Amino acid sequence: MSGEAYRALADDIREAVAAGRWDEADADLDTLAEEAALCLVQDRAADLAALAREVARCHTALALREDRSPDAMHRLGQLRAVAALVAAGRANRPARSEAALAQAGTPTAAVLRALADGAKSGPALVEATGLSHDAVARALPELRAAGLVRSWPAGRLVMNERTTAAG
């Protein structure tokens, strides 16, 4: 999807609200919400970012208008709800598949391999893998979310072990 198409859709919503064409505004808002849902379901990260820009731009433009009528505020609220949906979709990501995480040469695979001989703390994983602190710190949250690593605190340390799911 092109950014221009999102810009045109958002501009149409602005114009419809400015002119008080509420049916058109509602129809376009429905299209916008539908597109946001499709981006989320299809995991189209770049499109979601472009959509976020246009929704925020449109919301800002409408918020700066003097019109505080119930009809205008109602559409502004709908736009805000779509923006919240898009922002949540961008802030939260699904973990990649087990196959992708275990692919040779990746930091996640190196961490899994280092855990094959037993549980290790974060600093011990840095030492065992030879990876940077940053790389290990990026790998662990995704491995946990994928269910391949279980972690627990032991005092101040965080221990990590492979789960049975991590074949």
Partner 1 sequence: MHLADLFVALRHQLDRNPKETERAVERLEFAPDDAGGVLRRLAELLDAGDGTDALKAWVDSSDERTPLERCVLAAQAIDQWFAPLASRFLSRSALSDGRLRARQWYKRHGRFNSDAAEGQLILRPGLFDRSVNIREVTPLRGSFDAADLFHTLLLLPPTLAAECPHGEDGERPVSVAFHRVAEVADQCPSDPDWAPVVGVVPLALAEEDLVLGTFSKDGADWYAATPGDLGARASSAIDALAAEGATIVVFPEVAADPATLGAIKAAVRRQAVDGPIRYVLVGVRQDGEMGGKPRSTAVLLDRTGAEMFCQTKLHCWDLDADQCRSYDVRGPDGRLLDEAKEFIAPGDGVTIVELPNMGRLAVMICEDLGREKPAAWLCRAKLLDWIVTPVMDAGLTEERWQAHAGDESSRAGSCRVVVANSMSFSHRFNRVCDADGQEDKRITDCGVALFFQPRADPAQSSRIRRLSLPIDAPEPGCVAARWEPRSWAELKTEGCP
| Identity of the residue, 26 or 163, whose beta carbon is nearer to partner 1 in the bound complex | 163
DSSP track, 117-135: GS-EEHHHHHHHH---HHH
List of residues 6+ apart from 18 with CB closer than 8 A? 65, 67
| Interaction site with partner 1 (CB under 8 A) | 49, 52-53, 55-57, 59-61, 63-64, 79-80, 83-84, 87, 90-95, 119, 121-123, 125-126, 132-134, 136-138, 140-142, 144-147, 152-159, 161
Q: How far is the CB of 89 from partner 1 (least distance, A)?
A: 10
The torsion region of residue 46 among left (phi > 0), alpha (psi -120 to 50) and beta comes to: alpha
Nearer Cβ to partner 1, position 71 or 152?
152
Cβ 113 to partner 1 shortest distance, Å:
17
Give the nearest distance from C-beta 24 to partner 1 in angstroms.
21
Query: Which CB, 30 or 127, lies closer to partner 1?
Result: 127
Nearer to partner 1, 79 or 112 (CB): 79
Q: How many CB atoms lie within 10 A of CB 63?
A: 11
CB half-sphere exposure, 118, CA atoms < 13 A = 1
- Measure the CA–CA gap between 20 and 23, rounded to whole angstroms: 9
CA distance 122 to 53: 37
To partner 1, the closest distance from the beta carbon of 22 in angstroms equals: 21
52 or 112: CB nearest partner 1: 52
The span from the first CA to the last CA of the chain, in angstroms, equals 38
CB of residue 55 vs partner 1: minimum separation in angstroms? Answer: 7
In whole angstroms, give the CA distance from residue 92 to residue 100: 18
